[in-house]
Every structure is written in structure tokens, then in C-alpha cells.
Structure 1
Amino acid sequence: MITSSVFSGKKYAVLGLARSGLATVDALLASGADVVAWDEKEEARAKVEGRATLADPLAIDLKGFDGVIVSPGVPIIRHPIRAKATEAGVPLIGDIELFALARRTLPPHRVVGITGTNGKSTTTALVTHILETAGVPTLMGGNIGLPILSRDPLPAGGVYVLELSSYQIDLTYNLACDVAVLLNVSPDHLDRYPDFEGYAASKTRLFGMQNISGYAVIGVDDEVSTAIADMVDRLGRGQLRRFSRRQVGDQSNWPSLQGPHNAQNVVAAANVAHLLGVPGDKIDQGVASYPGLPHRMERVGEKNGVLFVNDSKATNAMSTAPALAAYPKIHWILGGLPKSDELNDCAPYYDHVAAGYTIGEAGQMFARILRDAGKPVTESGTLEQAVKDAAAAAKPGEVVMLSPACASFDQFRDFEARGDAFRAAVEALG
């Protein structure tokens, strides 16, 4: 794990003991800090009992603490811990800020920070894969599900690649990324911000933390990101590089990176790798050999000339739209717990849909929408049945794709469980 002498003798409160919270407690204790930890769930508290002091930060005097570290899942805009920490004059921070503070005690390295509404995980994993292909010591962490403090430090010359959500950026103040990336900005997480402008401003903070020697790599395929690029250019805090998915033509050599959204991810990753000194041939090799991430346009198999793609991570229409753009003939499995009563973002790509197969609570509603658009629909009900129905109808050269445009919680624990069930159903086809 990453430890640092900068935390020795200091006192921190940790609120939220999921993956990042547990990693934070472990790293701070190993660094010689005094730690108070809390989680509403008793089973979570049991994991640190006997090592950290168990106490709710809302119920104790926080004066004299060096920081309150909260999980990114804590909605700080309305959570009482915000006022409590402010009253005590204690900073409210996250594990990424601890990593930023620890950097000066680590072997010389560089940091890439990647944010955006969509594509963060794929771009983070792709940059990491390209660097590994080129023989550069690298670790990825952050919002991709790998707490950075839980990783062992890199040797000199290594590169840390961090996926950063807006929540994590909100809790970070000193992360001067050598390369900071903004992929895109569209309305999201508006329950956590006063308005869309507040959400966009959170993304922008990543560039305000950079030194003048850093690189700002910003996509300009949407108006908000273009405006942020213009602002960064005026501020002159980092060396600006603009990029667009339109810079990509043929994607046929990238089997795991199909569709216009992945064109944007590839251009972003290639820019990052180039700025880090990776030769062009190694960048090409890394992009072509990238295996993809589970549940994100994941190719799970091919049977009788039909490709099966698991895009279970697409939990709204905006996320599903680029998946539909990726292939010309798709047997589309969709539905689940709906987040809205429309599929408007997907409509421009209905000509790519050979047929729809609906499941879950949204099944009837989505079936009606697709029929109104002139598409044949089977109301399969369950995912297992939808896979059977789509496989029976698909022809060689066509694609059966799970891209639900819905949350999973009506029939599955989470989107990972849904994706795993899709894979199992495909395997069961024989």
C-alpha cells in the first residue's frame, strides 16, 4: 500500500468504510496516523475494529483533526458532515487528496488524471494498457474501483493513471496532474449539484490544480467541454491539447473499441501516451491489443457467425446510444428499472436496430416506443429468454447486444450481475 511520513502523528476521521474507506484507514494507520473511523453498517465497522477508534464524526468534537476523509459516495452537498467539518475548521477531503499529499515522499513519477461524464473507465484502462505495452511501470486507480492508496508504490519513472469522478475532484485540492484529461461533459449526477453548471465546474477544478508545466487534454466534441478548453487556454495553467473523435477514421483494427464514443477514448489515450513519450508504434500496438473492460462493450463470444456484446454498464439511454452506433445490425436487448420514460438519445441510431427484445419493468414501455418507431419487438421478459430469442433471430454477421438503457435493480443485484447473467446465457446456447 502507499504510505507516507507526511501523515505520521496526524489525526484523521474517516467516514464511509467501503473499498476506498478501508484502504484509507489501512494506509493512514500504516503511516503512523491516529484514525477515527465510522460507517453506518456494523459489518463495515467490524473490519477496522481494534485498529482504529470507532466513533461517528458527527457525534464528536472535530477540532484538532487534520482532516475528515469521506467516501465519494457521501453526498457532501447535503450531508451534515460538511457543516460539522466547516464549523471545526477541518478540511473535508478524499483519498485522492491523501495520495496528492503523499506524492512528494514517493519515488519520482508522473500522474494522469482522467475525468468526464462518459468514457472515463475505458480511457483509464486503455492508457494503462498502452503504457504497459511500452514497458512503462504503471498503476491505475481511483473511480475505476481500485483505491489508489491500496496499491504498492511504483518505482522511479512510473505513471499513476487515475479515473476521477466529479465527487472525487470535489474532495481534492492538491492533485497537480502531469496530464489532466476531460473527455466530455453532459448532464449527470444532478442530484449531487445545484445545477448542471455546478457539475461542469467540478470537472473544471482538475485543471485549476495543475502546474504550468502540466498538459491539459480536453475533448471538444460537446459545447461545454469546448468552453472549458477555452477557459483553460485563457488561464494558461497547463499546456492545452484539444482533441476530437472526428480525428479517427477506420476503427476496424480495434475490435474492443468500436463506435464513436470509443473513437473519442482512443484519441484521448493516444494523446496522453504521446505526451508521456510513448513511441507511435507502441501506441498503435496498445490500442489494437486492448482487451476491453467487463460490461462495457465487452465481446463475450461468437456463435454461428453472430457476435454477442455485453454492455450492461449502459444504465441510461445516453450511455446506450453510442453502443448502438457501433454496429450496423443489432439485435438489441434492453430494459430493466427505468430512469426515464423515453429513449430519445437512442433514436438517431434506430436504423442500426434489426429488432428489440425487452426485459424487466421497462419492457412494455420500451416495446411500445420501438414499435412506434417501426421496429419489430419481442417482449422477452427475462434476460435469459431475451438471449434465446435474439440468438434464434440473428443472422451471421449481425450482433446480439445487451445495452439496457436502464438500471438493473428490478431483476439483478447490480449491472455486474446482469452482465454476468448475459454471459452465462450466451454460454448456455451451446
Structure 2
Amino acid sequence: MIVSSAFAGKTYAVLGLARSGLATVETLVASGARVVAWDSREEARALVDGKAELGDPMEIDLAGFDGIVVSPGVPLNRHPIAVRAKIAGVPIIGDIELFALARPTLPPHKVVGITGTNGKSTTTALIHHIIEQAGYPTVMGGNIGLPILSQPPLEPNLHGVGVYVLELSSYQIDLTRSLDCDVAVLLNITPDHLDRYDGFEGYVASKARLFAMQSATGIAIVDAATEANYQILDDWSGQEAVELDSVAVTDQSGWPSLQGPHNLQNAQAAIACCRALGIDLPTIFNALTSYASLPHRMQAVGTHNGVLYVNDSKATNAASTAPALAAWPAKDGKPRIHWILGGVAKSDNLDECVPHYGNIAHAYTIGEAGHMFADLLRPHMAVDDSEMLSAAVRRAARIAQPGDVVLLSPACASFDQFRDFEARGDAFVAAVEALE
């Protein structure tokens, strides 16, 4: 756990007691801060009873508070805490900002921040893996793994200073004011989460703040393929900006867990980032070879009767599914992908996926969006409106031929049938394991 004198004698409210909220309470209390915590769930409040005072920030007097720490899941454009905090003159922050405030009291280190619409988790895990293979102390956190405040401070070793690798959603950046990343990475920007922002421009502006917080020594790594990414760098004044397409990669075949065009971009970002940290190319390329996929992100879960089954449950929109459909092109003119898709749709179209329809042998639609997507796809391919994930896996197994790929890449959120994308991916793995 990170403990810092930066918080001693200060007063914070913590709203939301899931994993990051609980870690925040632990850090602040151990650092000598006064903490008033709240969650609408009684069982969550019970976890901090005796450690922090209990009080709802919507009801208590906020005068004199140094900050209100909220979960990234709190929609600041709609939640009344935003207005109440503004009236009281108290900043709303997140656990990443607390980490940023604690940095001057930690042993010497560097910070890498990764954002973008798609590919953040894979790129974060890949960068962390390369740094680890190079022998540097490192942890990853933020929107992946354990909350960063719950992890021990990094101590330098013979190889050099430690590196904190942070996956950062736009929501987390919104709650951060002073995170000066030594290396900031922007993978891509496509429309997403627009219910939280004033259109696409507002979403882009949120991502841009990661770079605006960098100091003059900061390094930016960006996908410059879209105009939005150029806008992000317009007012940027760091040391160096590296465009992803300038990173030369001639062959992905030796990287079994990094196939497809989307993973090419992830690898380019990781290579550029780790070179900026001073890691040599032979170490980087050896680490790319040994990298293993994260669960639910183009995860090869097994082969059955010569058919490969791939869990890409993390693909919750069409833009993130499209690269998966491109990863297995038709062979000898024969499409090979048996595509399972559906759930809670974020759009009424699959436009980003259209260029890859020629790679799809058969589609199997599930969930709330299943009927809509089935009607959308029937003019282009064979479709089975399966409704349930387990049924889709069984039907695909009956039809698929050796050399084919059964791909769960839903292009939808999971909340109609599953708790989250992890639960959906676990159900896919279980259905594959149940095949005879």
C-alpha cells in the first residue's frame, strides 16, 4: 500500500467503496488523513466502519475538505455531487490524482500512462511485461489489475528506477489534475461513452488532458491517423512526440499472442514506450515473443476438432471487434471465422466491421441486440439467431471445419445477460470446455 505524508492532517470524503474506494480509504487513513466515507450499499459501508467516519457527501458539511474522492463510475455530468462540490469549493478527484499527489514522497520512479478507446488493457499489460523482462521494478494499475494505491511503492534496483504503468480511462483522467506522465500513450479515439460528454469533441478533450498534464520533459506516443489525435498535440509542449506508424515492425509471426492489425498497433505503442524508457530492442522483441494474452482479449482458449476458440469478450463496440475480424483472413477464398456477437448494443450498426465480412463463414447472434444484428447481417452471410451464448457455441462447433476459428467478439456491452464482460468471457470458456 502507498502511504504518503502528502495527506497527513488533511480531510477527504470518499464516495463509492468498491475496490479503488476501499484502497483509497486505507491509504488516506494510514497516511494520517481524516476520512469520511460513504456508499449506498450497507455491506460496503461495513467494510470501512471503524477505519473512517461514515457520512454521505450529499448531506454532510463539506467546508474545509481537501477533496472528494469519487469512483470513475460516478457520472459527473449528471450526479448532484458535482454541483454540491462546486458550491463548497472542494475539488472532485479520483485515486489516480491521490497517487499523483503522493509521487514527490515516493522513491525515484517513472510513470507511463496509456489511454485510447480500444487496446488500452493489452498495451498496458504488454508494456508492463517488457519492463518486467528488462529487470526493472514495475507494477500496473489504474483501469487494470489492482488499484494503484493498494500496491507497494517501487524501490529502485540495479537496473534502475521503478516504473508505474497505468491504464487510464477517460473517466479516470477527468478526475485527475496533476499526473505528469514521463511517457503518455494515446492508441486511438473513436466515439464511445458519449452519454458522459458533450459529444465526441468532449470525449476527445478528456483524453487530451493526459498530455496537457505532462511537463516539458514528457514524451508523447500517439496514433496520428485521425484528426482528433492531431488536435490533442496542438498545444502540447513536451520533449518529443512519436507517431505509432513510424515504429517499424516487419513481422508479427513470432508473437503468438499479438496477431492482427489491432495488436500491431498495441505492439508499436509498447515498442515506442519502452524505447523511450531506455530499454534495448533485443530485450523488447524477446518480451514480445513471450507475452501471453490477457483473459477476454483475443484469448485463445483452446482447440477442439481442429477449430480454434477465441475469447474476445472485452470487445464491447464495433470498432474494437473489427480488428479481431481482420486477424483471420479468408484462406484460399474460404472464410474461416464463426462470429458470435450481440448483447447491449452501443449503436444500431456494425459499420466498422463491414470491411471484414468476407472473413466470416457464419454469424451467431445473442442477447438483446441479437435480432437486430441478425437482420443486419443476413444479406451478407449465413446467420444463426442463437439468443444464448452457450447455444451459439454448440451450433458453431457443429458447423465449423478444421482450420476455422470460433470467435466471441460481441461488439456490445454484456449487461443484458452477464454481470460484466469478464463473466461473459468466462461463460464462453465454460461452453467451449463442455464440448464433447
Shorter-chain TM-score: which interval?
over 0.9
2:378 alignment partner, SS class: helix
* Structure 1 runs of 4+ with >3 Å offset: 245-249
Q: Is 1:422 the equivalent of 2:428?
A: yes
Tell me whether 25-34 or 398-407 shows the greater mean CA deviation.
Answer: 398-407
Alignment-derived partner of residue 408 in structure 2: 402
Letter in 1 for 2:379: D
CA shift for structure 1 position 237: 2.8
Q: Is the 8 A contact 2:211 2:232 kept in 1?
A: no
Q: Measure the CA separation in 2 of the matches of 1:14 and 1:169.
A: 17
Q: Measure the CA separation in 2 of the matches of 1:406 and 1:203.
A: 22
CA shift for structure 1 position 247: 4.2
Letter in 1 for 2:221: V
Q: Measure the CA separation in 2 of the matches of 1:303 and 1:133.
A: 33
Please give the TM-score of this superposition, normalised by the length of structure 1: 0.96
Gaps in structure 1 of 5+ consecutive residues: none
Alignment-derived partner of residue 333 in structure 2: none
Q: Measure the CA separation in 2 of the matches of 1:179 and 1:410.
A: 38
CA shift for structure 1 position 19: 0.9
Q: Is the 8 A contact 2:97 2:177 kept in 1?
A: yes
2:357 to 346, 350, 356: 350
Alignment-derived partner of residue 215 in structure 1: 219
1:162 to 144, 151, 166: 166
1:278 alignment partner, SS class: coil
Pair 1:248–1:354, CA change in 2 (3 A): farther
CA shift for structure 1 position 404: 1.2
CA shift for structure 1 position 341: 2.5
Alignment-derived partner of residue 261 in structure 2: 260
Number of aligned residue pairs: give it.
426
Alignment-derived partner of residue 85 in structure 1: 85
Alignment-derived partner of residue 308 in structure 1: 309
Question: Per-residue CA shift, 1:195-253, capped at 9, x if unaligned?
Answer: 21111111111111111111111111222113323x15xx4233211112884443222
Pair 1:118–1:406, CA change in 2 (3 A): same
Q: Measure the CA separation in 2 of the matches of 1:390 and 1:245.
A: 40
Alignment-derived partner of residue 42 in structure 2: 42
Q: Map residues 22-421 of structure 1 onto 2, 5 A cutoff.
A: 22-156=22-156, 157-229=161-233, 231-232=234-235, 235-244=236-245, 247-328=248-329, 329-373=336-380, 375-421=381-427
2:209 alignment partner, SS class: helix
Alignment-derived partner of residue 5 in structure 1: 5
Q: Measure the CA separation in 1 of the matches of 2:285 and 2:358.
A: 31
Tell me whether 401-410 or 118-127 shows the greater mean CA deviation.
Answer: 401-410
Gaps in structure 2 of 5+ consecutive residues: 330-335
Q: Measure the CA separation in 2 of the matches of 1:411 and 1:236.
A: 46
Question: Per-residue CA shift, 1:269-325, capped at 9, x if unaligned?
Answer: 100111111111110011111111111111101122211100111122222111101
2:194 alignment partner, SS class: coil
Letter in 2 for 1:274: R
Q: Is the 8 A contact 1:210 1:238 kept in 2?
A: no
Letter in 2 for 1:210: Q
Q: Measure the CA separation in 1 of the matches of 2:246 and 2:81.
A: 41
Pair 1:195–1:238, CA change in 2 (3 A): farther
Same amino acid, percent of matched pairs: 66
Q: Is the 8 A contact 1:245 1:263 kept in 2?
A: no
Please give the TM-score of this superposition, normalised by the length of structure 2: 0.95
Letter in 2 for 1:102: A
Q: Measure the CA separation in 2 of the matches of 1:196 and 1:342.
A: 18
Pair 1:66–1:208, CA change in 2 (3 A): same
CA shift for structure 1 position 363: 2.3
Tell me whether 409-418 or 304-313 shows the greater mean CA deviation.
Answer: 409-418
1:9 alignment partner, SS class: coil
Q: Is the 8 A contact 2:247 2:268 kept in 1?
A: no
Pair 1:72–1:47, CA change in 2 (3 A): same
2:363 alignment partner, SS class: strand
